[in-house]
Structure 1
Amino acid sequence: MGDAGIGPGFRPARRMLDIVNAVRLAPDLSRDALAELLVRHGEAPGELAGEAFTAADAAGLRAAAVRLAGILAETDADRAAGAINAVLAECGARPHLARHGGHPWHLHVDRGEDASWADWFLASGALALAQILTEYGRVPWGRCDATGCTALYLGTGPGSARRYCSAACASRERVAAHRRRKRAPDP
């Protein structure tokens, strides 16, 4: 199963966010759709074939995504840190280096080769969030503020704190605010 470290060519936080948002949009997201998402984020297709990634594994991964969504919706740094620590403790997070499937050495934080997909996803997602929280010293993630959008985002880029999941949502909100101002009567 995949990596938990942050490095060139590997983005565990992006993988976590994509899976969490996909499950939030489709709570019964199929096993095949989840496997496709994992492959898109660097998992070897062979690691997801047949009995290597079962319907039960997919159900566990969906439940793990819901749990991580709760952390991504948390706006208080202390509560977020407590939730992250709880996930890491529950998953028996034990950092270790692994090399498999043609990948170079990379960090894992699960129970090892016997970890379930859900444990791996929870542990690697929690580690990514822990790294982000410690790097920024605040919660740089959240739920999009755009009307009608409920996507979660990671605001880890440069500049001021984010409020929207994408440039499209931010632009739509700016245009809507501009139109409201133009319609408002002058004082």
Structure 2
Amino acid sequence: MTTDGFRPAQRILDLANAVREDPAIDRAGLAAVLAEHGETPADLADFTDAAARELRAAIIRLTEDVLAEPDPDRAARALNAVFEESGARPRLTRHGGRSPWHLHTDRGDDAGWADWLLASSALALAQIFTEHGRPAWGECAAQDCTRLFLGTGPGAPRRYCSTRCASRTRVAAHRRRQG
């Protein structure tokens, strides 16, 4: 997914869905998702197999503790735990002048991939949480779908990852009522 601008919340959702679809996703698969979100070949030069394993573990942690947690209090506590563990402060960076200025909350440009992902994702999710007063993300409510989604649009909170899953669920419910 190519995006306009920097969207760290969508990045963690895309990474989480990639890991859910393939729990053994390798370095190349994770690098492809990172590249879709703006990481350049130069940025990914130090993304080793070991870094990919650490990143995958960080993604799983965020998925289990935050993204799949519907309870606002538990999600907030999980985000606070990530902030406390990271011990990092927000800073603006341009990666040596190669990219637009954007916010990082890791320990510096030499921080590991997992540390970077945990801190930057927690910050993005916390910003969305405070804007909406609740987790504005979740797991699709459709039977047999485990995709995660970001629901930051207007209106009632989303329950489905796509209109396809919502329609499929409504049609199934209608058929059950009819017969």
Which runs of 4 or more aligned residues in structure 1 lie more than 4 Å from their structure 2 counterparts after TM superposition? none
Taking structure 1 as the reference length, the TM-score comes to 0.89
User: In 2, distance between residues paired with 1:109 and 1:155?
Assistant: 23
SS in 2 for 1:142: strand
After superposition, residues 34-183 of structure 1 pair within 5 angstroms as 34-49=30-45, 52-70=46-64, 71-100=66-95, 102-183=98-179
Q: What CA deviation, in whole Å up to 9, does each residue of 1:59-111 have, x standing for no partner?
A: 01100100110211111111111110111111122101111262111111000
Of 139-148 and 34-43, the range deviating more from structure 2: 139-148
Q: Which runs of 5+ in 2 are unaligned?
A: none
Supply the AA of the counterpart residue of 2:36. Answer: R
SS in 2 for 1:107: strand
Structure with the larger RCO, 1 or 2 (CA within 8 Å, 6+ apart): 1
After superposition, residues 11-30 of structure 1 pair within 5 angstroms as 11-30=7-26
User: In 2, distance between residues paired with 1:44 and 1:140?
Assistant: 29
Question: Counterpart of 1:5?
Answer: none
User: In 2, distance between residues paired with 1:92 and 1:43?
Assistant: 24
What root-mean-square deviation, in Å, do the aligned CA atoms of Structure 1 and Structure 2 show? 1.2
Q: Deviation at 1:114?
A: 2.2
Q: Percent identity?
A: 64
Q: What CA deviation, in whole Å up to 9, does each residue of 1:123-176 have, x standing for no partner?
A: 111011100110001122221110100111121111111111111110110111
Supply the AA of the counterpart residue of 2:62. Answer: L
Q: Deviation at 1:10?
A: 1.4
SS in 2 for 1:45: coil
User: In 1, distance between residues paired with 2:26 and 2:5?
Assistant: 27
User: In 1, distance between residues paired with 2:38 and 2:175?
Assistant: 43
User: In 2, distance between residues paired with 1:179 and 1:76?
Assistant: 31
Larger radius of gyration: 1
Number of corresponding residues:
174
Taking structure 2 as the reference length, the TM-score comes to 0.93
Of 136-145 and 122-131, the range deviating more from structure 2: 136-145
